[in-house]
Amino acid sequence: MNRDVVVAAAIVHQGRLLAARRSYPAAAAGRWELPGGKVDSGEPADHACVREVHEELHCRVRVVRRLPGEQPLGEGLMLHGFECALIDGEPVPSEHDAIRWLAPEELDDVAWLDADRPFLAGLRERLLDGERLPGGNVGGAVRIGATVRRVTGPWTPAVHALLAYLDEAGVDRIPRVLGSDERGREVLTHLPGKAADPDEGLASLPLLHDAMRWLRRYHDVVADFRPDSALPWRNAPLAPTPGEVICHNDFAPYNWTTVDGHLVGVIDWDVAGPGPPIDDVAFAAWNAVPLYRDVGTAQSARRLKLMCEAYGELVPRAVLSTVDRRIGLATERIRAGAAAGDLGMRNLVATGVLDRVAAQSASFRTRLPALAAALGRS
């Protein structure tokens, strides 16, 4: 018996699956399905999938793969499923009365048509893979809907205690801890905006001002944080000593999310740990002036002064004199972590970061006298 093919589009976007609710016929009304339809005579099934999505949802998709298996629909029809990526437009239903994006934990929240259910187990695993976020040499973070999933380590309870303390204290622009997922990863809220790409140019002066004002607020609040001394931090197992706070330890434009050039989020807290507050400022100066490369003595001095003024009560020359030690400490931590088996630190080493930073530090030292002179006694 010849079997006509019906296609079902499993549209996956940011770690979520699009479900569409049927409004007819009466036997199917109110139940949910993967959008799609019948393949025309002589039409490739994957082409039909793209066409049906455009006709039903007014958006464009790209077929990624054929889903394993096929489901009989009766009357000689056979259902084939295809994973699709959304490439243009927002889905707008025209033949369904509602649509919904479902995270992997939400797939069982709707009443699916029986024919689509066999595809869900494999799709759940695909959704848990998420959408890889930019950067991520250390933690390999992925986005799933409004959440971020990251691998955990012995340091995770300490970081979660810090984030909970900051949230309770009213510090904004930080992720909130939501728990863990079935793969054992931490689940955090996804912050809006886009992290800066160092290759796209210098961070704007308004962004530097926003970031340093936020950092000062953070340091003021975290000064009263008394972490459990039994909880280890990733790069420092001890609690802070007098004069130290729990620093972010990776406060740089690639961990600042922005909207319209202004700071809206501070991400990647996994290397937080004890240190003097000026260390966070020095690390930010290395990456945001940036001092790791030559952008001109006058411009470097001007940007460093602005950062210190925004932070408040900081002498630019003191920050400048801290940079070499702070960057040396960063490389020591990466090397030690990699030697101890920390996969994230091993991933960093594999990128060549140690050799790269060594060369940048050598260049910085040759520029240091001129930078100090440009700062004067400030």
Q: What is the pTM of this model?
A: 0.92
Strands 256-259 and 142-144: unpaired
- pLDDT at residue 332 tops 90: yes
**Structure-block tokens of residue 183:** 């793969």
Name which of 18, 23, 9 is nearest 97 in CA terms.
23
- Give mean pLDDT, residues 277-292: 98
* Cis peptide bond N-terminal to 274, omega within 30: no
- Give mean pLDDT, residues 306-334: 97
pLDDT band at 201 (very low <50, low <70, confident <90, very high): confident
Hey, which bits of the chain come out as E strands? 4-13, 16-21, 32-33, 36-38, 60-74, 77-88, 98-102, 131-132, 142-144, 147-150, 177-180, 186-189, 194-195, 245-247, 256-259, 262-266, 273-275
pLDDT one-digit tens code per residue, 350-368: 999 999 999 999 999 999 9
* Residue 208: partners with Cβ closer than 8 Å, 6 or more residues away: 288, 303, 306, 307, 310
Catalogue all structural domains in the chain, each as residue range(s) with its CATH number.
4-128 (3.90.79.10), 131-171+180-186 (no CATH), 194-375 (3.90.1200)
Weakest-pLDDT range from 56-60, 305-309, 374-378: 374-378
- Give mean pLDDT, residues 274-284: 98
**Buried b or exposed e, range 313-336, using 16+ CB within 10 angstroms:** ebebbebbebbbebbebbbebbee
Name which of 275, 279, 271, 265 is nearest 334 in CA terms.
271
- Inter-residue contact 378 to 327 (CB < 8 Å): no
d(CA 89, CA 54): 10
- Give mean pLDDT, residues 57-67: 98
pLDDT band at 135 (very low <50, low <70, confident <90, very high): low
* Alpha carbon distances (Å) from 374 to 140, 245, 307: 40, 30, 15
pLDDT one-digit tens code per residue, 71-94: 999 888 999 999 999 999 999 999
pLDDT band at 137 (very low <50, low <70, confident <90, very high): low
pLDDT of residue 182: 95
Judged on CB neighbours under 10 Å (0-12, 13-18, 19+), 88 is exposed
**Structure-block tokens of residue 185:** 């990863």
**Structure-block tokens of residue 326:** 């702070």
